[in-house]
Every structure is written in C-alpha cells, then in structure tokens.
A and B are shown apart, each in its own frame.
Chain A
Amino acid sequence: MQRIGVFICHCGSNIAATVDVERVTEALAKEPGVVYAVNYQYMCSENGQQLIKNAIAEHRLTGIVVCSCSPRMHEATFRKTAEAAGLNAYMVEIANIREQCSWIHKDIEEATEKAIVLARTAVAKILLDKPLTAGETGVTKRALVIGGGIAGIQAALDIADAGYEVDIVEKRPTIGGRMAQLDKTFPTLDCSACILTPKMVDCAQSDKINIFSYSEVEEVKGFVGNFDVKIRKKARHVDETKCTGCGVCMASCPSKKGLNEFNMNLNNRPAIYIPFAQAIPNVAIIDPEQCLKLKSDKCGLCQRKCGVGAIDYKQEDSFVERKYGAIVVATGFRPIKLDNFNEFGYADNKDVVTSLELERLMNAAGPTKGTLLRPSDGKHPKVITFIQCVGSRDVSGCGKPYCSKICCMYTAKHAMLIREKYPDTEVHVFYIDIRTPGKNYDEFYRRAVEQYGVDYIKGMVGKVYNENGKLMVQGSDLLDNKQIVIPSDLVVLATAIEPDPSVRDIATKLTISIDTNDFLTEAHAKLRPVESPTAGVFLAGVCQGPKDVPETVSQASACASKVIGLLAKDKLKGNPCVSHVDENMCTGCSQCEQVCPYGAITYIDKEFRIGGGKTETRRVASVNPAVCQGCGACTVTCPSGAMDLYGFSSAQILKEVEAICKR
C-alpha cells in the first residue's frame, strides 16, 4: 500500500495569488492513498526541502507529489530531496500548477479547481510508479568536431588543451573556413589570416588533434558517450603522407581554368592546387573536373614532376570508423544566392559584387594582390556604393526573414578601409537600420562616419542599372524624402548569410533539429544555448544562428567546456524511463524498430518454453536501454501493446486521463 505525501508550493505569489493553496491542500488530503498534504511558500528553498524530508520520515511516505512549477525547473531538485530522505528518486511526481495553471488563469475559482485536478492526476500516476534505477555506460574519451572553421578550430583547441583527443572533420581541402577568406576583422581591423593561421597551425601541431580534411561524416550511430562514426575521406588523388606542399605540381599543371573557390571564383587556379598559402594541411588536391589525366587519361605532368611520388590518380574514397564520446557541430555558413534579387544587377554586372567577394578583392592573397580594382576592367573604382540588408529581413519569400547580424559592422569596416587606403574614393552606404551593439562596435561605425567621411544614406536601393558603363544606384533618401541616383563604379551587396546547406544532412544523421531557416536548434534558447536537444551533441558558430568572430569563438569555448565536462566522466547515468518489451505479447512485426529515431530497438531470435517440455523460437524486439531516449514512439506504434515505458506506462497515462475526467 502506497503512502503518498502532497506538497503544494505558493511560489511566492506566482501560484498563491491565483490558486487557493489552502483549498488544494484540503482537497488533496482526502484523496485515496494520500496520507499527508501541506502547503509552503517556497518548496524549492532549503526549508521547503527540509519540510519534505521530515515528512517522508515522519509519515513513512512511499512517494511524493510536488505541486509547483514545470518539471523542467525543479524536478531534478525534488528527486534529489527524495533520494536524500531515503526514497527512490523516481517515486516523485510533479504537478505543474504554475506554467499550466496559475500563470494562464485569472479567475481564482477556475484556477483552484484546475490545480486540484492536476494534483489528483499526479497522485493517480504515482500510485502506479515503481522504483527505477538508472543504468550506467562508459564514455569514449574522444570528441568529434564537424567543420574546421574558426568555431571548430577553437572548440578543438580547447578540448585538446584539457587533454582529450579531438578529430576535426572538414569537407574542404583545408581547415580555416570563412574566416580564412576575410581580409580584416572588426572592430580592431587586424588581419584575419594573421590571427587565424596561428590557431590553424596549433591544430596541426597538437598531438591530440587529428584533422580529416576533404572528408565528410558518412554515418553516425550510438549515443552520448558512445558514438560510432564513419568518416568518408574523399579521394584527393594526392598522398597526404608524402606531399610536402612544395607547389611544383601547381606550376606544371597545363589546366588553368578551374575557378578559385577560395577567391570566391574571381580568378582561376590549376587543376592540382593548394587552396591558399597557409592551408592546413599544406597538401595539394586534384580537381577531377579539370584534371586532363583524370578526364581523358592525357597529361600526367604533375606525377612526373612530383619529387616525392605523392600523386596517385587511382586514389579512391576511403572510410575510417572511430568512436567518440561527444560531437561538436560547427558547419558554418555561406552567403545566399542572389537569383531572387535581379533588381541589384548582380548577375549582369561584374562590378556588382558581394561583400565576401570584396574581401578577396582587398586581400593581399586575393586575385588583385590587395589592390582594389574593378573586376570588369581592372581600373580603380572612384565611387563605391554599398547596399545593406540584401536578402536579410525579407519576409517576401525572396530572402531570409532574419537579420544577418554581421553586415552593418563589416560594411562599416569595408567603407573605412577603402577611405583609408584610397582617400580620393567616394563611399556611400544605403542602410535601413544600423545595428551595432557590442563592445566598441557603435564607436567603430561612428568612426566610419565622423573620421572617414563615409556617406550613410537612410533608405533602401530600388534598382541598379548600367548606363554607359556606370552603375546607376537608384534609391531612397528617407531623411530627405528624396529619390536619389548615384552613378557608381563598384556596387557592394551586403548579402544575407544562411547555414551551410550540408547542415541538413548532418542534422539528420545526428537526429538534432533545425528551425525554419535551417539553423540548428539549441536545447534551451537561454539556459542551454550550446547544447543540442540530443545528449552529447553540441553547437558552435553560425550553424546555430548568425554571429561574428568574437561571438563564435566564445560559443566554441563554451561548447568545449561542455564537451570536457562530459568526457571527464568515467560513467554516464542513463535515463531509466526507457522502453521495454513484453516478449509474450510481441509478434515480431518490426514496426517499433522502424519508428525508433535512435536505433535502440533490434530483433532477436529467442527460445520460449511452450509447455510439455517443448520450446519454440520466436523473433522478438529487444531494447538497448542505453540508447533509448524514452520518446515513446514505439509504445504508440506497437499494434499488440507489447512496448511500454518505465515511469510513463500506458496504464499510468490512462489513470491520469481518468483522474482528469472524474469530477
């Protein structure tokens, strides 16, 4: 026979102002199975918890119902309280009479009635609760970082610093990501490569960090602490262990028409190439689309020239299988395609460029060796017009509904750098709003205006058209209530950013969720911002939402601390509220196996005694409790009712429904 105690919290006035706690206490004291009911101002306080502990001892309680806030807030607290008083931690039920009752009702009568019903429901459930014990699993002391941009690099360095092994999987031939493409970084205007490449080198030199470049995650199995990951190493046709990065092959390659992705396709590169001078690993790669040998079996020059015999035209994709305890997703972003914005003339005019293209046009390692020249005729542009919010804050379906966050700052940076380097250049910026919160950020933008004389125009551009070789930028000057046309030599579009499209595939493989804009969803927007809803998977950088370099680095370090906290554990306590199978009822239909999102269910052949000394072998479901997350998909799918959840059994849920319906 169960002896249940009910504890009703006032939560200051959060609950008590709308719910008559005295009446709830009286009503619950009369419930069958309840031997003690009490209310208190703050049940989660030290005193409140002591009250619960004393009551458990004094009234020999077998289970407690706490009527308070959402179980997301204090379920863990009260489980610990119960455990400290000698009860099983799972003999605790929470009735949420705050978020689901007092906060959403105004009428005291109604709210009190509802609170009583919610409390009765919890009592109905707890009467069928059984003590549960969480299982334990080991932890593989190695982390996987997907994406080798600044987010992935920082996370990997921090995890390695704590003494754990880290593998970085980067789909491109080098790590470095978008930050490697930037010329300068705001708000200090230091050279991006100068601050990034030391970190890249640290990754390469660390004996804890292993870089899988030009590789992709092929398959992910397992669960927190024990992920099994298959990595595809794409064929680069160059033996990484032999190549010294000398560059002789690049010089000898007769095919020069490949577009240079690192320079945003603004110039060409050979078919065999190293993406940029400081690439990590500093190893060549062959572009099979451009290589004459791979396309038509002619040539072979690079193989003959290579002094170390690193070129291998027959190389194929290979696979590596590794175990990991934690995974960091840092897949980054790209600028959106501008197909929906032909009013800005991007497709038709070479001198209309995106901001990322401008970074390359201004960079010393870029196609113009750092001298700002127009792509069309290689001349110095004298009038440069920037257009902000291209594709951002757009709910028409052409662009992205969100603010891309970084554009105001990098446009101010571009404008300032141009005015600094070429004082005879006229620089205009069309803006809708200037958004520069952040340390030294607004001061930075004001410097562009006050010190460098950049002309900021409040208004959006309606169209850009070519008139006798000039780019005519027609837009609003809203403060002057005028329509203006600025004949320009170069137009720069502050293009919206979007998550790298590879994130969809990664999200599916990791069973983590993405929002309507393909950004990865965090476990809690405020309190768990670097954790994904799937245990053991963490998020860093723009894959989670638009952010600049300092924010990305902070988030990556936060991510690393979460990973380190996980890897530091020898054992992980599981969730005991998992699925289990009644083998006598299982018909072996496999439906549960198909719906399980975690791969926790397998089928086994098992021998059963059928009487008369005989046995028969039947195919039945088997749940791996370490993998099961207790979602309950199998229990509602099972046609024979063989699947059930510990702590949330079908019988308990029916009892709850009954308690709600009973008046």
Chain B
Amino acid sequence: MSDIFTVENIKRISGTDVRKCMKCGKCSGRCPAFDDMDIKPHQFVTMLGQGRVEELLSSKAIFNCLSCMACVERCPRGVAPANVIEAVRDTVERMQGGDAIKAEDIPAIVDELIPQQLLMSAFRKYKK
C-alpha cells in the first residue's frame, strides 16, 4: 500500500474534509481521553492534511480514542476528528486483518442509542 493511496484512502474512509479545519482546538479541548493520547485529536486532522500517515498509523492514540463523538458533535467546522481517528484505526486493522469482536456478540450489548460508527469501531478495538 503506497503512502499516497493510504492518505487518500484514509480521507475517503473518514468522509470528512480536513481542509475545513480552522485549527481552533475545540476537539482537543473537549476530549475526555486527551491525556492518554500520544497524538491529540486536532493533530490527527492536521497531520492527515500534511500526509503524515506513517506517524498516524503507528500511533497508540487510535486505541485510546473512546469514540464518544464529542469532538464530532462540537466541531464548529463540521470536520469530525473522531472520523479521522476511526479511519486510521480502520486502516491499521485492515492491514492486520481480522475483527476484534464477533458479530454474534453484538445484539446482547447493543441499544438503539449507540451510534453506528461506535459499533463498527467496537469490532476492531475490544479484542480480549
């Protein structure tokens, strides 16, 4: 997988336009997992814009993100940083292969208020 392909692919998966970011930092101001993250939510947006995927793909933060979506909810520019983080995580998982939890385990824990994206990220994150 070439770098260019990865940058464009992560942008595509995230479904968000990182150029819209005005670098206000509200995402990182809101983030409950901020202190645990080696790369901060606002940096994900900036670094993806700069094409620094190697650093993003090797970050630990992608597994610290709680997918609480607070940054998506509060972003004044509609950038959705959590979607960027999710897209990086998704890319890492796809490169490794395999899902973290089984589909048949989902119905027992799901309720209708859970965002679909959180459900999807659960597939990959909670492998115990």
Interface, chain A (partner B; CB < 8 A): 343, 389, 393-399, 432-433, 458-463, 474-476, 478, 481, 483
Contact with A along B5-37 (1 / 0, CB 8 A): 000000000000000101111111111001100
* Residues A475 and B20 in contact, CB atoms below 8 Å apart: no
Residues of A within 8 A of B74 (CB): 343, 462
A-B contact pairs, 23 of them (CB 8 A): A394-B76, A394-B77, A395-B77, A395-B78, A396-B77, A398-B76, A433-B22, A458-B25, A460-B29, A461-B26, A461-B29, A462-B26, A462-B28, A462-B30, A462-B74, A474-B30, A475-B25, A475-B29, A476-B24, A476-B27, A476-B28, A478-B42, A483-B31
Known: A343-B30, A476-B26. A481 touches B76 (CB 8 A): no
How close is A43's CB to chain B, nearest CB, in angstroms? 43
Residues of the B chain whose Cβ atoms lie less than 8 Å from the Cβ of A399: 76
Query: Other than the known A397-B78, A462-B74, what 18 A-B pairs have Cβ atoms closer than 8 Å?
Result: A389-B76, A393-B77, A394-B77, A395-B20, A396-B77, A458-B25, A460-B24, A460-B25, A460-B26, A461-B26, A461-B29, A462-B29, A462-B30, A478-B28, A478-B42, A483-B34, A483-B35, A483-B40
Answer whether A459 and B25 are a contact pair too, CB < 8 Å, given A343-B30, A481-B40. yes
The residue from A397, A432, A483 contacting B24, defined by CB atoms under 8 A apart? A432
Q: When each residue 37-60 of chain B gets 1 if its CB lies under 8 Å from chain A and 0 otherwise, what string results?
A: 000101100000000000000000
Q: Is B75 an interface residue (CB 8 A)?
A: yes
| Nearest neighbor of A477 in chain B, beta-carbon distance | B25
A478 to B23, Cβ gap below 8 A? yes
B93 CB, min distance to chain A CBs, angstroms? 27
- Assess whether B66 is interfacial by the CB under 8 Å rule: no
Q: Is B70 an interface residue (CB 8 A)?
A: yes
Give the dominant DSSP class at A's interface.
Answer: loop
B82 → chain A, closest Cβ, in Å?
A: 13
Partner of B76, one of A393, A458, A474, A478: A393
- Residue of B24, B31, B34 with most chain A CB atoms under a 10 A cut-off: B24
In angstroms, how far is the closest chain B Cβ from the Cβ of A341? 9
- What is the CB-to-nearest-CB distance from A110 to chain B, in angstroms, rounded to a whole number? 33
In the complex, what distance in Å separates the CA atom of A463 from the CA atom of B77? 17
> In the complex the two chains form, what is the Cα distance from A3 to B21 in whole Å?
61
Q: Closest chain A residue to B80 by CB distance?
A: A396
Contacts of A460 in B (CB 8 A): 24-26, 29, 76
Distance of A488 from chain B, by nearest CB (Å): 14
B67-89 contact mask (Cβ, 8 Å, vs A): 1 or 0: 00010001111100000000000
Give every chain B residue within 8 A of A432 (Cβ-Cβ): 22-25
Q: With the chains together, A432 CA to B21 CA distance in Å?
A: 12
Contact B29 A476, beta carbon cutoff 8 Å:
yes
Contact between chains at B25 and A478 (CB < 8 Å): yes
Q: Please, which residues of chain A bring their CB within 8 A of the CB of B23?
A: 432, 478
Residues of A within 8 A of B25 (CB): 432, 458-460, 475-476, 478
Residue of B whose beta carbon sits closest to that of A432: B24
Question: Separation in Å of the B30 CB from the closest CB of chain A?
Answer: 3
Q: Does the CB pair A463–B30 fall under 8 Å?
A: yes
Note all chain B residues with C-beta closer than 8 A to A398.
76
Distance in Å from the Cβ of B25 to the closest Cβ of chain A? 3
Task: Kindly report which residue of chain B lies nearest to residue A484, judged by CB atoms.
Answer: B29
With A395-B20, A398-B76 as given contacts, are A462 and B70 in contact (CB-CB < 8 Å)? Answer: yes
A396 to B75, CA, bound (A): 7
A476–B24 alpha-carbon span in the complex (Å): 8
Complex interface: chain A residues within 8 A of B34 (CB): 483
| Least CB separation from B41: chain A residue | A476
B15 CB to closest chain A CB (Å) equals 15
Q: Is the CB of A476 within 8 A of B42?
A: yes
Contact A474 B78 (CB under 8 A): no
Once the chains bind, are A459 and B29 in contact (CB under 8 Å)?
yes
Which of B22, B26, B75, B76 has the largest number of chain A CB atoms within 10 A? B76
Decide: A396 and B76 in contact? CB cutoff 8 A: yes
Q: Find chain B residues with CB under 8 A from A389 CB.
A: 24, 76
Contacts of A463 in B (CB 8 A): 29-30
In the complex, residue of chain B having the shortest beta-carbon distance to the beta carbon of A479:
B25
User: Which residue of chain A has the shortest Cβ distance to B78 in the bound complex?
Assistant: A396
Residues in B with CB closer than 8 Å to A394 are 76-77
Measured CA separation A398–B22 after assembly (Å): 16
Considering only CB atoms, which chain B residue lies closest to A390 in the complex?
B76
User: Would you give the shortest CB distance from A484 to chain B, in whole angstroms?
Assistant: 8
**Cβ of A508 to closest chain B Cβ, rounded Å:** 31
Collect the chain A residues with CB atoms within 8 Å of residue B26's CB: 460-462, 475-476
Within 8 Å CB of B77, what residues of A? Answer: 393-396
Name which residue of chain B comes closest to A485, CB basis: B29
Chain B 88-123: CB-based contact to A (< 8 A → 1; otherwise 0): 000000000000000000000000000000000000
Chain A residues positioned under 8 Å from B43 (CB to CB): 481
Distance (whole angstroms) from the CB of B64 to the closest CB of chain A: 13
Partner of A462, one of B20, B22, B31, B78: B31
Decide yes or no: A474 and B75 within 8 Å by CB, A432-B22, A462-B70 being known contacts.
no
B53 to chain A minimum Cβ distance, whole angstroms, is 20
7 nearest A-B pairs in the assembled complex, by CB-CB distance: A462-B30, A476-B25, A462-B29, A460-B26, A475-B29, A394-B76, A459-B25
Q: Please indicate the chain A residues that have their CB under 8 angstroms from the CB of B42 in the complex.
A: 476, 478
Shortest distance between the CB of B92 and any CB in chain A (Å)? 23
Please name all residues of chain B whose beta carbon is closer than 8 Å to the beta carbon of A396 when the two chains form the complex: 75-78
Bound together, the chains give a CA A633 to CA B40 distance in angstroms of: 57
Query: Shortest distance in angstroms between B59's beta carbon and chain A's nearest beta carbon?
Result: 14
Most buried by B among A461, A462, A481: A462
CA distance A363 to B78 in the complex (A): 38
Complex Cα–Cα for A359 and B75 (A): 29
